[in-house]
């Protein structure tokens, strides 16, 4: 046997740093709008034997043996997805939101085809950019015109763009997703062009599950792609949902999911997704409603403290997220760093007309994770005060950090799930090492 002391030290180093991260996050207020906490029951699935296995294809039609129980779990999870999202089609195999997007592109667009979509400084995700999945598929993207004052599509302009571009697919969905797109107003145009309508609901999937956001599949959207770990508090994974698709279109999507963009589909995550779907069926409404109330309360409190939040006239947001303009306080990069120094975790974000993603003028804040840990509107006010002390008053982050830790102590239990009570960030040693 080789002398393994060095390698063992390296393994220890990795484990110790993961533990340190867990410990740190216990003392943090995480406000990243694309993150969440899995329930203890869902998390348990991640260390099951499913994590070590392969299942290619669909339940009952696998290429590998050993999938007796995997098939049962996947069929149940698909059934739950159709129930929770009230839809005809669900595929749980994409292993992330980006991979789900790649599947849609593979199924419904060829290189050179036109897809209409939002632009990066309007809050779009990188996967719809030239340097992301859209570019990789070689589609020609055409952007919609944007109305900064209400952080939404300019309806008349969008109708014009759709009529001129005649896209094969009209795509919607954002990473700074404050308000739902005007799908009803665009429906006649979709019908006239005969395009497929696709929405990337990565950010708002949990709000849709809880019926607290526009329900895209009831408003003319044919395909929803999404991540399952943002407002939807499941594992790092992806999902495809469909409504009013032909059998051929459903087959195309399935074929794109596998063998198109995945081989095995991370069975442990698929099982965790199934559990989360069951939990959202029961607790989704209450959780999503509170997350939406909390983001508005956070926006309002920050605004009153003199920290500009976008769209005050519209109540700041209809979702879990708010966009904060910190250009007068040193910009997004500096403010996000100062907040991290105070144990408030968020990200810098581009706002309309920003040209630099490295030093943009905004911060994006999400309420969903702290909602899951039990915070309500009154705590959002406290969080807003902590943020304002760092960002506006430029108080020493080390000092604010002590108050952040103190506040967080009372919010260490995940709610809205079957077995609330387990600490959120506790690290479980499985072996003596
Ligand atoms: C986060 C996000 C994605 C990507 O999701 P991953 O699961 O990280 O691949 C795709 N689209 C939008 C709009 C997102 O916000």
CB atoms within 10 A of CB 66: 11
> Which CATH number belongs to the domain containing residue 176 in this structure?
3.40.640.10
Q: How confident is the model at residue 432 (pLDDT cuts 50, 70, 90)?
A: confident
Residue 291 Cα to ligand 1 middle (Å): 19
Instruction: Give a yes or no: residue 28 inside a domain.
Output: no
Residue 105 Cα to ligand 1 middle (Å): 14
Tell me the mean pLDDT in the region 268-288: 98
pLDDT in tens, 121-162: 889 999 999 999 999 999 999 999 999 999 999 999 999 999
Domain count for the chain: 1
Instruction: Give a yes or no: residue 180 inside a domain.
Output: yes
pLDDT at 422: 66
Q: Is the pTM of this model over 0.85?
A: yes
Instruction: Give a yes or no: residue 82 inside a domain.
Output: yes
Closest-lying ligand 1 atom to the alpha carbon of residue 237: 7
Q: Would the pLDDT of 3 be above 90?
A: no
pLDDT at 102: 98
- 68 and 385 Cβ atoms separated by less than 8 Å: no
Residue 1 Cα to ligand 1 middle (Å): 44
- State if residue 168 touches ligand 1 by the CB under 6 angstroms criterion: no
Residue 230 Cα to ligand 1 middle (Å): 9
What are the b/e assignments for 402-423, b being 16+ CB within 10 Å?
A: ebbeebbeebeebbbbeeeebe
Average pLDDT, the chain: 96
**Substitution site in 97, 104, 240 for ligand 1 pocket (most atoms within 8 Å of beta carbon):** 97
- State if residue 125 touches ligand 1 by the CB under 6 angstroms criterion: yes
pLDDT in tens, 89-115: 999 999 999 999 999 999 999 999 999
Closest-lying ligand 1 atom to the alpha carbon of residue 98: 9
Q: Would the pLDDT of 58 be above 70?
A: yes
- State if residue 371 touches ligand 1 by the CB under 6 angstroms criterion: no
Rounded Cα gap, residues 217 and 219, in angstroms: 5
pLDDT at 352: 87
Instruction: Give a yes or no: residue 251 inside a domain.
Output: yes
Rounded Cα gap, residues 233 and 227, in angstroms: 10
Task: Output the residue whose Cα is nearest ligand 1's atom 3.
Answer: 97
Q: Would the pLDDT of 216 be above 90?
A: yes
Tell me the mean pLDDT in the region 275-281: 98
Instruction: Give a yes or no: residue 312 inside a domain.
Output: no
- 384 and 69 Cβ atoms separated by less than 8 Å: no
pLDDT at 1: 62
pLDDT at 411: 95
pLDDT at 433: 86
Residue in 424, 85, 41 with CA at minimum distance from that of residue 284: 85
Q: How confident is the model at residue 300 (pLDDT cuts 50, 70, 90)?
A: very high
Which of 117-126, 244-253, 373-382, 396-405 is least confident? Answer: 117-126
pLDDT at 244: 96
Q: How confident is the model at residue 421 (pLDDT cuts 50, 70, 90)?
A: low
Residue numbers of the domain that contains 224:
43-277
pLDDT at 5: 85
Instruction: Give a yes or no: residue 156 inside a domain.
Output: yes
- State if residue 237 touches ligand 1 by the CB under 6 angstroms criterion: no
Q: How confident is the model at residue 40 (pLDDT cuts 50, 70, 90)?
A: very high
Q: How confident is the model at residue 59 (pLDDT cuts 50, 70, 90)?
A: very high
Instruction: Give a yes or no: residue 227 inside a domain.
Output: yes
Residue in 81, 87, 78 with CA at minimum distance from that of residue 217: 87
**Substitution site in 125, 132, 349 for ligand 1 pocket (most atoms within 8 Å of beta carbon):** 125
């Amino acid at each position: 046997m080789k002398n393994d002391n060095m390698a063992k030290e390296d393994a220890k180093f990795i484990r110790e740093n993961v533990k340190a991260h867990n410990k740190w996050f216990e003392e943090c207020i995480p406000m990243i709008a694309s993150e969440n906490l899995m329930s203890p029951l869902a998390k348990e699935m991640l260390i099951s034997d499913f994590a070590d296995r392969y299942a290619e294809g669909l339940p009952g039609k696998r290429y590998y043996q050993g999938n007796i129980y995997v098939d049962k779990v996947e069929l149940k999870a698909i059934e739950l997805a159709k129930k929770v999202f009230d839809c005809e089609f669900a595929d749980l195999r994409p292993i992330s939101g980006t991979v789900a997007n790649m599947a849609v592109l593979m199924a419904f667009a060829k290189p050179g085809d036109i897809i209409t979509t939002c632009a990066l400084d309007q809050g779009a995700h990188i996967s719809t950019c030239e340097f992301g999945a859209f570019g990789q598929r070689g589609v020609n993207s055409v952007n919609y015109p944007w109305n900064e004052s209400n952080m939404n599509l300019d309806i008349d302009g969008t109708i014009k763009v759709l009529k001129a571009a005649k896209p094969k697919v009209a795509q919607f969905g954002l990473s700074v997703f404050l308000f739902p797109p005007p799908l009803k107003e665009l429906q006649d145009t979709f019908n006239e062009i005969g395009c497929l309508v696709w929405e990337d609901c990565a950010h708002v999937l949990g709000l849709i599950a809880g019926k607290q956001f526009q329900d895209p599949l009831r408003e003319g959207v044919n395909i929803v792609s999404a991540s399952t770990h943002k407002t939807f508090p499941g594992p790092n994974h992806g999902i495809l949902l469909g409504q009013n698709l032909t059998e051929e279109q459903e087959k195309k999507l399935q074929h794109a999911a596998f063998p198109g963009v995945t081989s095995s589909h991370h069975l442990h995550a698929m099982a965790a997704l199934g559990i989360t779907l069951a939990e959202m069926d029961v607790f989704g409404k209450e959780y999503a409603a509170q997350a939406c109330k909390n983001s508005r309360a956070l926006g309002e409190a920050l605004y009153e403290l003199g920290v500009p939040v976008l769209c005050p006239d519209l109540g700041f947001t209809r979702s879990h997220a708010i966009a904060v303009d910190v250009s007068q306080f040193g910009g997004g990069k500096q403010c996000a760093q100062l907040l991290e120094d105070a144990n408030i975790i968020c990200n810098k974000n581009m706002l309309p007309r920003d040209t630099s993603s490295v030093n943009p003028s905004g911060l994006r804040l999400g309420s969903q994770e702290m909602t899951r840990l039990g915070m309500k509107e009154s705590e959002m006010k406290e969080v807003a005060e902590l943020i304002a002390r760092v960002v506006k008053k430029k108080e020493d982050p080390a000092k604010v950090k002590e108050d952040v830790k103190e506040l967080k102590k009372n919010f260490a239990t995940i709610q809205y799930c079957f077995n609330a009570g387990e600490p959120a960030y506790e690290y479980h040693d499985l072996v003596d090492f």
